A = this chain, B = another copy of it.
């Protein structure tokens, strides 16, 4: 069992001693190699995972016609939030987009812990709320933001959840996630690069100007992240002082 104080997972890190005591006996370290499918669509979930590092993509697909990303998370989230919503499956796939490690817990054990502890439940439900907003903003961006803006948005979201400024993504991959053609990604990236916001290398995008990239992402980026900071706490590793007055996360909700 890892030491109490060393969790990188934001949710685990925010738990009080009682809730940690409830979960810890059931947590086991697990490797999350890139490409690993952590949630199979429409299959009962057997384990939840608190990611410590790495990135998870949630994918919706129109049969074979297309696959698009509807959300993503890393150490800010939890694989298997649906267990807190009284179900045990979802129609969408979740897979590791960037390899990492996490802490696994058997579905029944997590469900029992959620039922036993109101504070643990509250935390997971609040996270679910931020993810719902993220998904809604994705729907919005997909409907009305041009490809370049949507690309910038995903890059910033990846960057939020990663150490360092190098994102390991190919154009091909980004095109799938955005639901656009690969050449569209190439061109859009060139625009962002031309503006000095990123540097594109083979199978990698380096973020040069995070603030500029955030602006390029347009207003579809922001609300979900603000809600995370309001309801849970800092999202980014190196988060600057939040825009809201301090203390917001503790007493924010009604």
Main secondary structure of the interface of A (DSSP, over half): helix
- List, in ascending order, chain B residues with CB within 8 A of A136's CB: 58, 60, 70-71, 92, 135, 139
Task: Give the docked Cα–Cα distance between A3 and B53 (Å).
Answer: 53
Contact B129 A70 (CB under 8 A): no
Q: Please indicate which of the listed interface residues A45, A58, A132 has the most CB atoms of chain B within 10 Å of its own CB.
A: A132
Flag whether A167 is at the interface (Cβ < 8 A): no
- Tell me which residues from 134 to 165 in chain A have a Cβ below 8 Å from any Cβ of chain B: 135-140, 142-145
CB-CB under 8 A from A231, the residues of chain B are 86-87
**Least CB distance, A248 to chain B, in whole angstroms:** 12
Are B219 and A139 in touch, CB under 8 angstroms? no
Chain B nearest CB: distance from A244 CB in Å?
Answer: 12
A15 within 8 A of B: no
CA distance A123 to B126 in the complex (A): 17
The chain A residues found within 8 Å of chain B, CB to CB, are 44-45, 58, 60-63, 65-66, 68, 70-71, 82-92, 107-108, 111, 115, 118, 122-123, 125-126, 128-129, 131-133, 135-140, 142-145, 178-179, 218-220, 223, 226-227, 231, 252-254
